[in-house]
Amino acid sequence: MVLSGKRILLIISGGIAAYKSLDLIRRLRERGASVRPVMTAGAQQFVTPLAVGALAADHVFTDLFSRQDEQDVGHIRLARDCDLVLVAPATADLLAKMANGLADDLASTVLLATDRPVLVAPAMNPHMWNHAATKRNVATLKGDGIRFIGPMAGEMAESREAGVGRMAEPLEIVAAAEALLDTSPKPLAGRKAIVTSGPTHEPIDPVRYIANRSSGRQGHAIAAALAKLGADVTLVSGPVSIADPAGVSTVHVERAEEMRDAVLTALPADIAVMVAAVADWRVASASDQKIKKHPGESIPTLALTENPDILKTIGHHTMRPKLVIGFAAETQDVDNNAKAKLTRKGADIIVANDVSPATGIMGGVRNRVKIVSHNGIEQWPDMAKDEVASKLAALIADRFRQG
């Protein structure tokens, strides 16, 4: 809860993405932050101060020369009575003013007067973003210590043009604000971690595949928890319907062989946490064409072949990470299967869970795991997957602290 109790001065400038700032205000407030809005004249062409003020539950500051606002708060206090100045969206115009120290309206004056960290989320047409003038301004601002989130690649809202210029999504901006304000200890700083997550899809033909019920929730949460402790995390994810965690570099794959290749490419690393539910087998010869059903013909049988064992490959690799952790999803004899896996796979820890359908763990939001290591077996209570992730990340940090 990094944002809990934090005061955010949100400057909204005149871009079409201003509509996303309404959601951004909600997301920030959900996390316990207070939001004090400042809007440029341009911003008020896109969203109304009424909507912004209602969502922020605060007065909206729009005018530098308002006698009332000057008397109540004053632009210098406005610029300093906060923990973070967030500009979202940041127009090309406002970036240009900031880079040149202009102060001809409330937003630019506040930005010149503040002594607080400043995070900007630019949003503009790709041509504006790629213009030499904008590039110069961005380089100047980065040199001045202004932090950036985005812009992202994608389709623009109004022109439907594709390119880099789209404002980061509200949750990405929230994550960047959290990262900037996070002063918690970083015991895994300087450590590199590889985490796998989600299921794999093994093709039968171009439209059909063999999969499993893994949601990726546990693996993604572990990647995020390690990043929170300062690790440089590469997450190799199978096909999932959840968002990439913030602050982690995510590689998307489909098949087990692709996952193995991505993991090996990410070496060397200090930590490997293999959470993905990798298919043990794949179809021996997947068809290039959709397999057709012909009346009267026999039902096809699928011949399977073994997939690479990614945990075992990493556990016995010449570049083996110092700490190798595997997950064992079992439906019976959990302890003995996990202990056997520990030695066979060359792992330091096996996180074992009973994924029998009655537990609801596979695909669910909670987990009940056992930590199986050469020191013995430790049963953890039933917890949210996020909590399992934090506890496991703390355990990993502890192992490195002990050397």
User: Applying CB under 6 A, which part among 14-22, 186-194, 341-349, 357-365 lies near ligand FMN?
Assistant: 14-22
According to CB under 6 A, which one of 10, 92, 138, 195 is a site residue for ligand FMN?
Answer: 92
User: Applying CB under 6 A, which part among 59-67, 121-129, 288-296, 326-334 lies near ligand FMN?
Assistant: 121-129
From the list 130, 137, 212, 336, the catalytic residue is 212
Cite the beta strand spans of 136-290 per DSSP E. 147-148, 152-155, 162-166, 192-197, 202-203, 209-210, 232-237, 249-252, 271-274, 281-283
Query: Count of residues binding ligand FMN (CB under 6 A)?
Result: 16
User: Applying CB under 6 A, which part among 70-78, 92-100, 179-187, 221-229 lies near ligand FMN?
Assistant: 92-100
Does 212 participate in catalysis according to the annotation? yes
| Beta carbon of residue 132, minimum distance to ligand FMN (angstroms, whole number) | 16
| Beta carbon of residue 96, minimum distance to ligand FMN (angstroms, whole number) | 9
The amino acid occupying position 309 is D
Inter-CA distances, 15 with 121, 207, 216, 258, 362, Å: 11, 41, 35, 40, 43
CB-nearer residue toward ligand FMN: 110 or 263: 110
* 212-231 positions binding ligand FMN, by CB under 6 A: none
| Beta carbon of residue 93, minimum distance to ligand FMN (angstroms, whole number) | 4
Distance, CA of 233 to CA of 263 (rounded, Å): 12
Asked if 178 and 28 touch (Cβ cutoff 8 Å), the reply is no
Q: Which long-range contacts (CB under 8 A, 24 or more apart) does 249-256 make?
A: 250/223, 253/200, 254/200, 254/201, 254/203, 255/200, 255/201, 255/202, 255/203, 255/282, 256/200, 256/202, 256/282, 256/307, 256/308, 256/310
| Beta carbon of residue 358, minimum distance to ligand FMN (angstroms, whole number) | 52
According to CB under 6 A, which one of 2, 3, 9, 15 is a site residue for ligand FMN?
Answer: 15
42 binding ligand FMN? (CB under 6 A)? yes
What are the structure tokens assigned to 381, written together?
A: 């209570």
43 binding ligand FMN? (CB under 6 A)? yes
16 binding ligand FMN? (CB under 6 A)? yes
| Beta carbon of residue 246, minimum distance to ligand FMN (angstroms, whole number) | 23
CB-nearer residue toward ligand FMN: 93 or 309: 93
128 binding ligand FMN? (CB under 6 A)? yes
According to CB under 6 A, which one of 94, 188, 311, 351 is a site residue for ligand FMN?
Answer: 94
| Beta carbon of residue 175, minimum distance to ligand FMN (angstroms, whole number) | 22
| Beta carbon of residue 130, minimum distance to ligand FMN (angstroms, whole number) | 13
CB-nearer residue toward ligand FMN: 98 or 311: 98
Inter-CA distances, 365 with 119, 227, 273, 294, 382, Å: 32, 20, 19, 42, 11
Distance, CA of 236 to CA of 258 (rounded, Å): 10
Give the CA count within 13 Å in the CB-facing half-sphere of 129. 20
One symbol per residue from 143 to 172: x for binding ligand FMN (CB under 6 A), - otherwise; what is it?
Answer: ---------------x--------------
H or E stretch at 389: helix 385-402
> What secondary structure letter does DSSP report for 359?
G
Distance, CA of 392 to CA of 324 (rounded, Å): 13
Q: Phi/psi of residue 163, each to 5°? A: 150, -170
CB-nearer residue toward ligand FMN: 126 or 326: 126
CB-nearer residue toward ligand FMN: 60 or 94: 94
Buried b or exposed e, range 190-211, using 16+ CB within 10 angstroms: ebbbbbbbbbbbbbbeeeebbe
User: Applying CB under 6 A, which part among 36-44, 234-242, 291-299, 332-340 lies near ligand FMN?
Assistant: 36-44
Residue with tokens 């708060």: 73
| Beta carbon of residue 74, minimum distance to ligand FMN (angstroms, whole number) | 21
H or E stretch at 265: helix 256-266
How far does CA 397 lie from the centroid of its chain? Answer: 20
According to CB under 6 A, which one of 2, 8, 10, 14 is a site residue for ligand FMN?
Answer: 14
- Active-site residues, by number, are 212
**Binding region for ligand FMN (CB under 6 A):** 13-17, 40, 42-43, 91-94, 123-124, 128, 158
